[in-house]
Amino acid sequence: MHNFNSGPSILPQEVLAQTANAVIDFNNIGLSILEIGHRTNWFVDVMEEARALVKELMQLNEHYEVLFLHGGATTQFMQVPMNLLDNNATAAYCDNGVWGSKAIKEASVFGHVNVVASSKDKNYTYLNKNFTVPQDCTYLHLTSNNTVEGTQWHQFPTTNTPIVADMSSDIFSREINFNLFSLIYAGAQKNMGAAGVTLVVINKNILPKTNRNIPAIMNYQNHIDAGSLLNTPPVFAVYVTLLTLRWIKKEGGLAIMQKRAEQKSSLLYQTIDELPIFHCPIQKEDRSNMNAVFYMQDENLQNLFLNVCKENGMIGVKGYRTMGGLRISMYNALPLESVVAITDLMKDFANKN
């Protein structure tokens, strides 16, 4: 099987094996990872190692705290403005696709939103990078990689305004200066683990930012004070994340992840561009190294192509339901061999059709 799912997505084989063992017997203690108490030393050690590995891999300075929370990135669409945006204050947002648009909608509940950049005019096939952030904005929010539309920020805006980034689909895939961001959040189910836990990285200097009476469970400071143990965390998902972070470090860290991502995406985009039967409408400089979105010149051939993919053990190739077309996701755990396999299949299909 070649797993091109966009999320939940492929995990490293050794992580799957280690996880399977831990479900039966975690660290030879006679209990499953599903059974241990979240305040036992067994799990506290898991949580602390996972938080430490995040800081190490992202090379975060002493001002940052690492949280593992419930609710997915979608909850962060609401939790970010709840903690950072006063009722009469304004936040700047980039509208570069489905997830940015949803984040804008949620932020509007808590304060004013200034959409400083949008690529909606061309159906989100590019990133509008020619914009300035007004000085009265509390923060700038962007989605670093647009899973649905297939675009990715390869260079981030330069601004004195604190930057908040949804990095759900490209976290830990490349070397960047993470200390440029005041808050980063990411669902685990693409590059760093199993569905059910969300990573939140916060520069403590950005808190507190509002006078709002925030429910205890939604207050970032409460989670920081409790070391991500304010309530029962998603124990299993945190453990899978720990194993995945260990794997990333063992493989060579973010430099190696970036090199592999560029190698895989280059091969795929080159194949798409060379075969007239396919076309990718995404502006080349904004194409994602994680999610390649493309189409067939003859839409009538699409179902035939998808059937051929299925027959050859290639899953997750169908595009997002609102976008149509095709999508191949190339997260960290996807081997180059899978991209070679599907590009060979694409060439063969083109020759026959």
Tell me the CATH number at 195. 3.40.640.10
pLDDT at 140: 98
Q: Identify whether residues 75 and 138 lie together within a single domain.
A: yes
For residue 166, indicate whether it is catalytic. Answer: yes
pLDDT at 189: 97
Which of 251, 281, 297 is the last residue before a domain boundary? 251
Which of 251, 274, 297 is the last residue before a domain boundary? 251
For residue 55, indicate whether it is catalytic. Answer: no
Q: Is the pTM of this model over 0.85?
A: yes
Q: How many domains does the chain have?
A: 2
pLDDT at 237: 98
pLDDT at 195: 97
In a domain, 1, yes or no: no
Q: Identify whether residues 189 and 247 lie together within a single domain.
A: yes
- Of 95, 170, 190, 318, which is the active-site residue? 190
> What are the residues whose beta carbons fall under 8 Å from the beta carbon of 168, sequence distance 6 or more?
7, 73, 99, 143, 145, 147, 185, 186, 187, 190
For residue 190, indicate whether it is catalytic. Answer: yes
Q: Identify whether residues 111 and 241 lie together within a single domain.
A: yes
pLDDT at 210: 87
Residue appearing with tokens 């077309």: 325
Looking only at the bridges linking them, the beta strands covering 314-315 and 2-3 are: parallel
Q: Which amino acid is at 270?
A: Q
Domain span at residue 184?
13-251
Beta-bridge partners for 163: 140
In a domain, 7, yes or no: no
Q: How many CA atoms lie within 13 A of 185 on its CB side?
A: 24
Tokens encoding 22: 């831990």
In a domain, 150, yes or no: yes
- Of 95, 166, 170, 286, which is the active-site residue? 166
Which of 226, 251, 276 is the last residue before a domain boundary? 251
Q: Identify whether residues 50 and 32 lie together within a single domain.
A: yes
pLDDT at 38: 96
In a domain, 221, yes or no: yes
Q: Identify whether residues 205 and 271 lie together within a single domain.
A: no
Q: Identify whether residues 238 and 124 lie together within a single domain.
A: yes
Give the number of other Cβ atoms within 10 Å of residue 54's Cβ. Answer: 24
In a domain, 40, yes or no: yes
In a domain, 6, yes or no: no
Q: 132 with 180: CB under 8 angstroms?
A: no
- Of 99, 153, 170, 247, which is the active-site residue? 99
Whole-angstrom CA distances from 270 to 128, 158, 264, 347 are 24, 31, 10, 11
How do the pLDDT tens digits run along the chain, 353 residues long?
999 999 999 999 999 999 999 999 999 999 999 999 999 999 999 999 999 999 999 999 999 999 999 999 999 999 999 999 999 999 999 999 999 999 999 999 999 999 999 999 999 999 999 999 999 999 999 999 999 999 999 999 999 999 999 999 999 999 999 999 999 999 999 999 999 999 999 999 999 888 899 999 999 999 999 999 999 999 999 999 999 999 999 999 999 999 999 999 999 999 999 999 999 999 999 999 999 999 999 999 999 999 999 999 999 999 998 888 999 999 999 999 999 999 999 999 999 99
